[in-house]
Each structure stands twice: as C-alpha cells, then as structure tokens.
Amino acid sequence: EVQLVESGGGLLQPGGSLRLSCAASGFTFSSYAMSWVRQAPGKGLGWVSKISNSGGTTYYADSVKGRFTISRDNSKNTLYLQMNSLRAEDTAVYYCAKASDYGDFFDYWGQGTLVTVSS
C-alpha cells in the first residue's frame, strides 16, 4: 500500500524557515518524480515544486522560486521542502504527491501538514 506521511509543519513568524519531510513507503520511491502542492485555508490547490526521480531536476512555482528548495534522499525514501524567508501568504496545508506512471499528475497524496506564518 502506498503511503506518504508529511511532517514538519508548524507556526512561525514571517521571515522564518522550516523544513518539511514526506516519508514514502509501498512503492519504489527512486522511480518516481515527486511534488509538493499546497492549499491555503479555504482556497484551492496550488502546485509548489517538483523533483525528478533522481533528484537531478527541480522545478518551482514563481511564487516560491529562490525561497524554497525541494530535495530527496532516495536511500531514506524521503522527500523534503526547505522553506526560507516565509511570508504570511505561504500559510497553507502542504501535501506531498507522487507522480503517476502515466503522466505528471498525482495518483497518491499524503495527508498534509499545516504551515502557519503569522506574527
């Protein structure tokens, strides 16, 4: 059974930093691209970042480019999102999501972790 379990969310002040983790199991982690998707309270879904299966290629939404860094450790089956210079508008539930065999959509999602940026 595929499982994605996020952790690392919390409450922090603007300008702060946080690292999210996503522990994967039930599939060959190193074979799949992974993404982070976020959802602000009461709002829709927004793609944040993607990393190739090897970790060699990364992509970012313009809103987080230069502030967030996606990475992965295939030996630990874990995906990361390093978030720096956080802003109030980064407040959201952050989901990790697994890319499908059939295209760059998401066939499995984690339960999400809440990041709140507030003074």
- 50, 79, 83, 117: residue in contact with another protein (rule CB under 8 A): 50
Residue 80 CB neighbours (<10 A): 20
Q: What are phi and psi of 30, to 5 degrees?
A: -70, -5
Q: How far apart are CA 118 and CA 6, in angstroms?
A: 21
Closest distance between another protein and the C-beta of residue 48, in Å?
9
Residue 107 lies near another protein (rule: CB under 8 A):
yes
Least distance in angstroms from the C-beta of 107 to another protein: 5
Could you tell me which residues are beta bridge partners of residue 92?
A: 115
Residues linked to residue 12 through DSSP beta bridges, in sequence order: 117
Q: H helices of 12-87, where?
A: none
What lies within 8 Å, CB to CB, of 91 at 6+ separation is: 40, 41, 115, 116, 117, 118
Closest contact distance (angstroms) between CB of 16 and another protein is 25
According to CB under 8 A, which residues from 81 to 100 bind another protein?
95, 100
How many residues line the site for another protein (CB under 8 A)?
A: 21
- Min CB(47)–another protein separation in Å: 5
What is the binding site for another protein (CB under 8 A)?
35, 44-47, 50, 59, 61, 95, 100, 102-112
